[in-house]
Chains A and B, each alone.
Chain A
């Protein structure tokens, strides 16, 4: 089981939940299960081709999934994925 931390701007699509528990052996599967639970998140995270939008940053522990094996990055038991959005407020 993996805990996915949802940033504040996206919580309106997860019924206000700050953390979501997902299944999945790798990052791609975990994201699939996230969208399965909260389909209205999909257009915000994925583009029309079904790919994660470039502004979406997933960090597995301290590391960006792009610096690991991307969506194929394996997840250990009790992994933590942080979804880090760009925010612009100042």
Chain B
């Protein structure tokens, strides 16, 4: 039995009630429906806002992060006053302000193999708004095991992808991507950036697909992958088929329960740019300052970043992209972007001590691995990157 709509709801949803494909019956379906949104970031923001506005009766939000000011360029569900607050609480409060007639369930916890089935089992659709590979594979496998559609979206810089993975009726995420890329190949948004409006485009497509599924109307993106590029303003579609060898939804599937997804992907289940090469390989910003001061004879000289260029025994290797040097830079550092490093190793003196750095430590950790495998022995990673230097040593430098 579909729930009745109150006078207030009929007025609120009148533009839906006027569409024959939705109508009163469709709006009642939405009131009875539920959607679980995994991640309340770039994609989760528009998805949650539009599903709440549309009157989806129960919306679950899973996230364990707090709002950071660097989120606000795209995560429009959160406001400046929410910085430092839990994302799920900030989002819940915004959704209930938008539509107090719905129910919002906030799960302030990471979505993991331990809790995912329990959280997801009572929702009609799952919406993948996560920012990392382990949680994407987890979301997929949960959707396959529970027999629920997984409304997928992902973004990077100007590129977006969207699809509906629904193993009962078509391929799943693993049919397309049986394995994650090797760690480090595909940069995250925290490393590579993302156009702020891009998640609005992809997220609103996810919201449309979720509403179509809940209403049972239209032609869902099952078996199709949408490829969007904001620079070309191109929307391309490719066909996806079920992979008969799929390890989770194929006829001979051998993944029959949730696994350790961080282990499977070789990366952590979050998109915090905070790489560490391990205690043996890391040097802190303060220790680097001390080291440079020793080289420069006096601490006073080292506090002046200009003196960094006067450390003849130590090479500072900046593996960021050239355009990042305009944001912050350490004078005297040599810039070789990570993508060019393998081809430019001959420019580096392996006999010299080296400290590698990037924005926050992720790319420099990969650079360090590359250097060590190429035979460089005297290499350290600046833990926390130039952002750590900006926080702990030279507070004139911006953190980004």
Contacts and interface: CB of A to CB of B under 8 A. Distances in A.
Interface of A: 7-9, 12-13, 40, 43-44, 53-55, 57, 59, 62-64, 66-67, 82, 84-90
Contact of A89 (B188, B227, B239): B188
B185 A64 contact: no
B180 to A, nearest CB: 6
Interface of B: 39, 41-44, 128-133, 136, 153-159, 161, 176-182, 185-189, 192, 194, 199, 225, 227, 236-241, 243, 271, 337, 339-340, 342-343
A2 B343 CA distance: 27
Contact of A85 (B157, B186, B240, B343): B186
A55 B179 contact: yes
7 contacts: A54-B177, A55-B179, A55-B181, A82-B227, A87-B161, A88-B271, A90-B153
Closest 3 CB pairs of A and B: A12-B339, A89-B189, A90-B131
A55 B153 CA distance: 17
B186 A9 contact: yes
Contacts of A54: 177-179
Nearest to A61: B238
Nearest to B128: A90
A86 B225 CA distance: 12
A66 B41 CA distance: 34
The dominant DSSP class at the A interface is: mixed
Contacts of B133: 86, 88
Contacts of B180: 55, 86
A82 B238 CA distance: 9
A13 B239 contact: no
A64 B237 CA distance: 12
Given A62-B237, A90-B39, A84 B155 contact: no
A90 B342 contact: no
Contacts of B157: 8
A40 B178 contact: no
Nearest to A85: B186
A87 B186 contact: yes
B268 to A, nearest CB: 12
Nearest to A12: B339
A53 B185 CA distance: 12
B237 A89 contact: no
A84 B227 contact: yes
Contacts of A43: 342
Contacts of A8: 156-159
A57 B154 CA distance: 16
A44 B187 CA distance: 13
Nearest to A45: B185
